[in-house]
Amino acid sequence: MKELNIDELKRRFQEKIDNDIKIEPKDWMPDDYRQTLIRQISQHAHSEVVGMLPEGNWITRAPNLRRKAVLLAKVQDEAGHGLYLYSAVETLGADREETIDDLHSGKAKYSSIFNYPTLTWADMGAVGWLVDGAAIMNQVPLCRCSYGPYARAMVRVCKEESFHQRQGFEIMMKLASGTPEQKAMAQDALNRFWWPALMMFGPNDADSKHTQQSMDWKIKRHTNDELRQQFVDITVPQAEMIGLEIPDPDLKWNEETGHYDFGEINWDEFWQVVQGNGPCNKDRIDARRKAKEDGMWVREAANAYAEKRKARLAKKAS
Amino acid sequence: MSKKEWPLWEVFIRSKQGLSHKHVGSLRAADEQMAIENARDVYTRRSEGISIWVVASANVFASDPNEADSLYEPANSKVYRHPTFYDVPDGIEHM
Amino acid sequence: MEKALFEYLLRLGDDSLILGHRLSEWCGHGPILEEDIALTNLSLDLIGQATSFLDYAGKVEGKGRSEDDLAFLRFDKDYRNLLLVERPNGDFGVTIMRQFLFDAYRKPLFERLVHSSDETIAAIAAKSLKETKYHLKHSSEWVIRLGDGTEESHERIQEALNDLWKYAAEIFYEDEVDATLKEAGVLPNMETLRADWEEIVYSVLKEATLETPDNNWKQEGGRKGLHTEHLGYILAELQYMQRAYPNMEW
């Protein structure tokens, strides 16, 4: 086969994308596409894994056995999702360990929402309902992403996530219909998580540097603002139904657009938290780094044992 | 990363008796035994499987997508391999 | 008899509850993602077992206490778990050794309890046995890997064994509770339980190139409600919500 020049390769690549043909690991792809995916998928994987920490914070204090088991299973799922995603990253030739080192060094980012603390049990409800709700909204379109392994991982993740949001909403519903103390706890959690949840969709379209290219490559299917609007439209009636109030004085239904108008997000806070100034950035990374360092001797031992065993088996066979 | 990572394994799961094993993803494990157990914990948390295969990723050899034209396209013209290629008159059954 | 049965169910339930709690502390902090998930699976199984045993305990007691009342609203002296399971997680080696010594007891125990004259116990044991077989396989393999791995891992896991050995001896603590239940056929064939445990433990330790400690001292107390300092802190977390917000539903 004669060597194709790069423009021809690019043209064929884009043609596949335009025809909704999935790109698979060994297919030719532009370097930028590969790098964008590595960045996005590993960021996504880090978010799952770092996201275990704020909820893990309440596992030992869950109020009854059922809630404890559900929360534990949920946080465990996040670990599973992290793993599915790291395994998608590895199909692109990136090494899991290296991407994790980038997280620990601060080079790689993760969803900023996890830099907020979980202060009460109601936060388990708010995180499940709002944070997982927002995540699902981001993730469902990714099931159709142009890169095969990412799309397949997302199908699995979305299937599993559906219980996450429900369990969160159930917690909120129970609190909202409980004692005044419980209801206040639920409202307080909503107050603290509402705005950070809206920030999860990323900067406004006008300020989002990656959106257009990612849309052309069908890695992304909707813009940040579209998804954010969809989230608000869906979530506001849910809050009303359980008698909680969205902490936004500017929130109101707009007959003309058929959507809710909502107030201005504090982008200053958003960027500060992204850059490391959130209440828990350091705690989260320290915890992940510690887990990795403390586990080093365990991983080494398993390797050493595997080698010894292999050598013994080989000796036996000869 | 200074220390050696655990090797990567591809995981295949049979979801129920009668179906073939299907690729579901990968994971890391120090040896095949651990790979099976990790696969059980990672990929069958919701009763997705009744049998697991693990294959060291290093042992998977794949065809080259650049040769796809010559490997797979010639089959496209062999339409006579498919039953729909043949005319069967009305009234003939069980064929 | 009811009293002995209630007492024994607390022993079974509390062992699962407290060890499940300890393992849940690992969630998000495991040595590698795959093992993080594995530890959580063990924890979930144990919490499920605790729920079944404590639910039944409440029914046997007949005072209207639910599994949650028993899990979350007793004082430390009323918990009946082994001291072994309340030991802190330590490093991964301590957690695995604690798990192994416990699994090596639980598997033969459940193998006997499936023949219990008490049908509820037999049913819970049958379900738990399947889980426990896997737990034992997982913990045995890790004991061997760490014991026969690197010099560092060998030292660490040997030290864990040395530390936990005296607590493991409590596994075979027996009193009038056991006597009553044996007579009633609720606890069948317990004579060889210890021999089974030893067989499992010694063969795995041998393969792991670990030395059995020669310390014969038994550190007991848990079965009678006399615990170590650690249980108080476990309960402070476990019971926090129920104590801070009494009589509410969650």
pLDDT tens, residue by residue, B46-85: 989 999 999 999 999 988 888 888 888 888 888 888 888 8
**Domains with residue ranges and CATH for chain C:** 2-244 (1.20.1260.10)
From C41, C141, C145, residue closest to B41, measured CB to CB: C41
Work out the burial of residue A69: count CB atoms within 10 Å of its CB; fewer than 13 is exposed, 13-18 middle, 19 or more buried: buried
Nearest Cα residue in chain A from C94: A298
pLDDT of A1 higher than 60: no
Work out the minimum CA distance from C47 to partner chain A, whole angstroms: 7
Domain boundaries, chain B: 3-62
Could you identify the residue written with the tokens 């007579």? C183
User: By the CB < 8 Å criterion, does C153 face chain B?
Assistant: no
**Within 13 Å of residue A219, how many CA atoms lie on the same side as its CB?**
18
Q: Tokens at residue A87, please? A: 């395994």
**What pTM did the predictor assign?**
0.94
DSSP label at residue A113: G
Residues 164-223 of A with CB under 8 A from C: 171, 174-175, 178-179, 181-182
pLDDT in tens, C60-109: 999 999 999 999 999 999 999 999 999 999 999 999 999 999 999 999 99
Q: Which of C34, C134, C138 to mutate to test the interface with B (most CBs of B within 10 A)?
A: C34
List the single residue in C with minimal CA-CA distance to A82.
Answer: C33
Distance CA B22, CA A80 (A): 18
Structure ipTM: 0.96
Nearest of A123, A240, A130, A122 to residue A182 by alpha carbon: A122
| H or E element in which residue B56 lies | strand B51-56
Confidence category of residue A301, pLDDT binned at 50, 70, 90: very high
DSSP, residue by residue, C109-167: HHHHHTT-SSHHHHHHHHHHHHHHHHHHHHHHHHHHHHHTS-HHHHHHHHHHHHHHHHH
Of A87, A56, B4, the closest CA to residue C30 belongs to: A56
Of C21, C30, C72, the CB nearest to A291: C30
CA distance A115 to B46: 30
CA distance A80 to chain B (A): 6
Residues C57/C10, Cβ–Cβ less than 8 Å: yes
Mean pLDDT over residues A208-214, rounded? 83
B3-62: CATH superfamily: Phenylacetic acid degradation B (3.10.20.520)
3-state secondary structure of A252: strand
What is the structure's pLDDT at B69? 80
Encode A221-232: b = buried (16+ Cβ within 10 Å), e = exposed.
bbbbbebbbebb
Which of A35-39, A210-214, C188-192, C201-205 has the least mean pLDDT?
A210-214
Q: Could you tell me which chains touch chain A, where touching means 3 or more CB pairs under 8 A?
A: B, C
CA–CA distance, A36 with A32 (Å, rounded to integer): 6
Q: Which of C113, C149, C119, C115 is CA-nearest to residue C132?
A: C113
pLDDT tens per residue across span A217-231: 999 999 999 999 999
Could you tell me the CA-to-CA distances from C239 to A61, C68, C71, C137, C234 in Å, in that order?
7, 10, 8, 32, 8
Partners of A260 in beta bridges? A253
DSSP B13: E
User: C-chain residues within 8 Å CB-CB of A127?
Assistant: none
Q: Which residues of C touch A64 (CB under 8 A)?
A: 68, 71-72, 242, 250
Does A308 sit within 8 Å of C48, measured CB to CB? no
Query: Token pair for residue A166?
Result: 């429900």
Query: Which tens digits make up the pLDDT trace of C12-62?
Result: 999 999 999 999 999 999 999 999 999 999 999 999 999 999 999 999 999
Report d(CA C70, CA C63) in Å as an integer: 11
